[in-house]
């Protein structure tokens, strides 16, 4: 068995030439293998038996040689995939499940019945360019560029991605290389494997909005240091989950989830700043500053989203506002002329976005390995932090929302806007956010009304 540790990064076709130029100009010790055309056939039962057990099964063919592979359930932390992998060579492209160690299969699976039920569900066909990079400490990373297609039932989707797989050494080197690659070519995290995309294509599954978890797997018996790592890891999960969904759906709800994950990450860094190792103090301050800057850019988009939401006939917030019909007309005009989607996608494609995610991922990896001194419980830390909160401050409301999301059994003494669901606070889609957004639109002159009307609306916003 091998443990596959890799970063999957979605790319553009120009990435290959960008990587070639980068390697040629770098001082890295690397070998360049000739490109290989790889075909992978993925198998499943009509009952989706393998999927139910988080198992992937494929046969890979290249130049008349074949290999069957089983991948079992793994984990994704900070965009880094870790998954057990079992490989067996084959004389022909025919499944032979009995060649695997029988212990890799769940006890409930009848291997003979399984093999009889399997059929070819989908295939991937792509050209792979491989570069093996060797470092002075003998660490090795395989950098591959894949371009091709996933096919199922007469339909297909494109493959264009970079994979960084750790062959030997510390996984932190994957984040270091990725940070350099982001500077020379557009990349983003690939949260779904080729197999996951193949399943969706074969099942013709509709795209869905990312659903933020109601809570996370934390408990108040954790130490504060453990809580800090878990909180940041889970914040990044929401950020990346929303981003992956938005690229496919172009849905405003997924966009707001991205920002909610960013706010969770920001509040986590602020709140738990002193719980990370002292050596990381400056790194955390830098990440926090960069994150705040990026969130500021997202907040500018929020103003147009606010106008869009307020101009919706079903939004009751403007009922009773001075000159409501005139105001709604102005908001609708702004919402219809704003090139929101192009602005949103431009922000996501900004390399600062990926660099921040990689920076947080590297921090998490290092902190998870660092020895932790015994400190006070997370429950005690939360109680202490709550005593310092002023519920009138937006940042305090965000911290309360963070606690409510992260800790399942925490009974908060302060309501979040009388709302048991903390996500509207972080996603900024409650009445408080509408009021703030409308005020900014008027004060900045984005929406221009008669001066006396503007004054009356601002007074109304302050009172409601």
| Judgement on whether residues 28 and 140 belong to the same structural domain of the protein | yes
| Judgement on whether residues 164 and 268 belong to the same structural domain of the protein | no
Within-domain flag for 177? yes
| Judgement on whether residues 456 and 314 belong to the same structural domain of the protein | yes
- The CATH code of the domain that includes 39 is 2.40.320.10
Q: Is-contact 119 99, C-beta < 8 A?
A: no
pLDDT per position as a tens digit, 388-444 = 665 555 677 788 888 888 887 676 766 666 667 788 888 877 777 888 888 999 998
Q: What dihedral do alpha carbons 181, 187, 192, 194 form, nearest 10°?
A: -80
d(CA 402, CA 18): 40
**What is the DSSP-derived secondary structure letter of residue 443?**
H
Highest-scoring range by mean pLDDT, 341-345, 349-353, 376-380: 349-353
For residue 463, pLDDT beyond 90? no
In degrees and rounded to multiples of 5, residue 259 shows phi and psi of -65, -35
| Judgement on whether residues 140 and 188 belong to the same structural domain of the protein | yes
For residue 279, the enclosing domain spans: 224-463
d(CA 350, CA 52): 37
| Judgement on whether residues 228 and 194 belong to the same structural domain of the protein | no
| Judgement on whether residues 181 and 238 belong to the same structural domain of the protein | no
d(CA 190, CA 72): 19
Domain count, the chain: 2
Within-domain flag for 114? yes
Residue with more model confidence, 143 or 274 = 143
| Judgement on whether residues 275 and 419 belong to the same structural domain of the protein | yes
Find the mean pLDDT for residues 254-263: 91
For residue 77, pLDDT beyond 80? no
Neighbouring residues of 126: CB distance < 8 A, sequence distance ≥ 6: 37, 38, 146, 147, 148, 149, 159
Q: Partners of 10 in the beta sheet? A: 161, 188
pLDDT per position as a tens digit, 282-299 = 888 999 999 999 998 888
Predicted TM-score (pTM) of the model is 0.86
Highest-scoring range by mean pLDDT, 77-81, 150-154, 390-394: 150-154
pLDDT per position as a tens digit, 338-349 = 677 888 888 888
| Judgement on whether residues 425 and 328 belong to the same structural domain of the protein | yes
Q: Is-contact 160 149, C-beta < 8 A?
A: no
| Judgement on whether residues 236 and 350 belong to the same structural domain of the protein | yes
Check residue 224 and give its pLDDT: 86
d(CA 452, CA 334): 21
d(CA 428, CA 435): 11
Within-domain flag for 308? yes
d(CA 117, CA 4): 28
d(CA 228, CA 249): 32
| Judgement on whether residues 344 and 374 belong to the same structural domain of the protein | yes
Question: Mean pLDDT for the chain?
Answer: 86
Within-domain flag for 210? no
Of 170, 202, 234, which residue sits at a domain end? 202
Residue with more model confidence, 383 or 224 = 224
| Judgement on whether residues 152 and 292 belong to the same structural domain of the protein | no
């Amino acid at each position: 068995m091998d443990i596959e540790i890799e970063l999957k990064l979605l790319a553009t076709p120009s990435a290959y030439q960008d990587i070639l130029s980068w390697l040629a100009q770098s001082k890295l010790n690397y070998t360049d293998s000739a490109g290989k055309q790889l075909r992978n056939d993925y198998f499943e039962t009509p009952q989706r038996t393998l999927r139910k057990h988080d198992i992937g099964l494929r046969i890979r063919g290249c130049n008349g040689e074949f290999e069957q592979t089983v991948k079992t359930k793994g984990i994704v932390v900070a965009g880094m995939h870790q998954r057990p992998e079992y490989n067996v060579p084959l004389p022909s492209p025919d499944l032979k499940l009995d060649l695997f160690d029988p212990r890799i299969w769940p006890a409930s699976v009848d291997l003979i019945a399984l093999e009889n039920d399997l059929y070819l569900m989908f295939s991937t066909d792509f050209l792979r360019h491989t570069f093996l990079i060797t470092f002075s400490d003998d660490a090795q990373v395989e950098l591959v560029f894949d371009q091709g297609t996933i096919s199922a039932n007469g339909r297909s989707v494109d493959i264009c991605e970079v994979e960084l797989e750790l062959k030997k050494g510390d996984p932190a080197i994957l984040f270091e290389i990725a940070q350099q690659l982001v500077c020379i070519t557009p990349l983003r995290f690939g949260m779904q494997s080729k197999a996951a995309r193949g399943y969706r294509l074969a099942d013709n599954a509709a795209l869905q909005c990312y659903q933020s978890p109601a809570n996370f797997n934390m408990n108040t018996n954790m130490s504060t240091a453990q809580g800090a790592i878990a909180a940041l890891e889970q914040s990044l999960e929401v950020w990346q989950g929303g981003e992956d969904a938005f690229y496919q759906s172009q849905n405003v709800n997924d966009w707001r989830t991205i920002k909610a994950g960013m706010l969770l990450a920001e509040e986590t860094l602020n709140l738990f700043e002193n719980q990370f190792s002292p050596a990381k103090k400056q790194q955390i301050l830098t990440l926090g500053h960069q994150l705040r800057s990026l969130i500021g850019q997202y907040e500018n988009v929020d103003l147009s989203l606010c106008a869009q939401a307020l101009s919706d006939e079903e939004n009751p917030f403007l009922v009773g506002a001075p000159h409501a019909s005139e105001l709604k007309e102005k908001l609708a005009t702004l919402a219809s002329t704003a090139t929101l989607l192009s602005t949103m996608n431009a922000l996501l494609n900004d390399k600062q976005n990926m660099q921040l995610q990689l920076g947080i991922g590297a921090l998490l990896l290092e902190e998870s390995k660092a020895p932790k001194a015994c400190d006070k419980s997370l429950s005690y830390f939360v109680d202490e932090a709550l005593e310092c909160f002023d519920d009138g401050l937006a940042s305090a409301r965000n911290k309360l929302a963070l606690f409510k999301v992260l800790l399942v059994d925490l009974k908060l003494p302060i309501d979040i806007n009388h709302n048991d669901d903390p996500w509207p606070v972080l996603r900024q889609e409650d009445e408080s956010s509408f009021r703030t957004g409308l005020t900014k639109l008027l004060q900045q002159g984005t929406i221009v009304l008669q001066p006396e009307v503007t004054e009356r609306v601002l007074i109304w916003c302050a009172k409601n």
